[in-house]
């Protein structure tokens, strides 16, 4: 299937490794030109070099998505280097585990900055340019915990659920505009990433392949997915029991 992404310009956040990197790889395989972001310079430059070696046009931007100016800098890099922007994949590292009753204000604020506000800021910066092009795809990588809360991930449950509520509303607002822009979420369960291993999720053999998740993101960002809007697509191997 031709996803209609060849020549499109995509910003992919937190994409030097893990699910963000898998998403960047999948978009690159479809011929998209990339702006990738990460907060670790060594891993960012390595990802940039590997993507470029595979024939992808790519620009790396160093920065932490939780910092207010970083989302705008990613959009600016796309405009500077490619003169356009078509696809936005919002992503950020997950907050630390913990229960709900002992959370400090500071911990809650940090989780909201990283896993809610960073995506809102990125979309806000990108929208004028997506509207100008008359076409756009926004995909936020969240977690299956927005459907079924995990007992030890109170910060993730809270911040990512806020993002889901916001994205659902934004998808409706953009549909009413008729701007040709969609907003969707992909909600991974345990995948074989450093984050999941650090949470003790299990061995790689029983977790999802990040590359498969990346291909789901690429589809949601594609031409054929133009009527998929406001969806939260579970990619969890059936782990979620909620209806």
Mean pLDDT for all residues in the chain? 94
Question: pLDDT tens digits for 202-241?
Answer: 655 577 899 999 999 999 999 999 999 999 999 999 999 9
Task: Tell how far CA 129 is from the center of its chain.
Answer: 18
Question: pLDDT tens digits for 104-132?
Answer: 999 999 999 999 999 999 999 999 999 99
> Quick check: 12 and 23 in contact, CB under 8 A?
yes
Helices 118-133 + 154-177 axis angle, to 10:
20
List of the chain residues with pLDDT < 70: 192-205
Q: Could you give the count of Cα atoms lying within 13 Å of 224 in the half-sphere of its Cβ?
A: 7
192-216 residues labelled b (16+ CB within 10 A) or e (exposed) = bbeebeebebeeeeebbebbebbbb
Report the residue count for the chain. Answer: 243
Structural domains in the chain, CATH included, are: 9-235 (3.40.50.720)
The CA distance from 15 to 61, in Å, is 10
Predicted local distance difference test score (pLDDT) of residue 201:
63
Predicted local distance difference test score (pLDDT) of residue 205:
57
Predicted local distance difference test score (pLDDT) of residue 243:
83
Instruction: With CA atoms as reference, report the closest residue to 18 among 99, 122, 78, 94.
Output: 94
Predicted local distance difference test score (pLDDT) of residue 170:
98
């Amino acid at each position: 299937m031709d996803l209609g992404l060849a020549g499109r310009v995509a910003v992919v956040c937190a994409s030097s490794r893990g699910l963000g990197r898998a998403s960047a790889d999948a978009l690159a395989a479809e011929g998209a030109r990339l702006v990738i972001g990460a907060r670790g310079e060594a891993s960012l430059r390595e990802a940039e070099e590997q993507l470029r070696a595979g024939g992808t046009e790519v620009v790396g931007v160093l920065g932490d998505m939780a910092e207010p100016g970083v989302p705008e800098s990613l959009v600016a890099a796309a405009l500077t280097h490619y003169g356009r922007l078509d696809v936005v994949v919002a992503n950020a590292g997950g907050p630390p585990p913990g229960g709900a009753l002992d959370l400090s204000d500071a911990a809650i604020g940090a989780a909201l900055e990283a896993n809610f506000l960073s995506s809102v800021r990125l979309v806000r910066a990108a929208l004028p340019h997506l509207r100008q092009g008359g076409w756009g795809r926004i995909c936020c990588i969240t977690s299956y915990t927005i459907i079924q809360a995990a007992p030890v991930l109170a910060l993730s449950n809270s911040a990512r659920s806020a993002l889901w509520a916001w994205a659902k509303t934004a998808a409706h607002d953009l549909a009413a505009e008729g701007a040709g822009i969609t907003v969707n979420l992909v909600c991974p369960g345990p995948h074989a990433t450093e984050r999941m291993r650090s949470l003790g999720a299990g061995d790689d053999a029983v977790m999802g392949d990040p590359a498969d998740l990346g291909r789901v993101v690429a589809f949601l960002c594609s031409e054929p997915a133009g009527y998929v809007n406001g969806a939260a697509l579970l990619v969890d191997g059936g782990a979620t029991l909620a209806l």
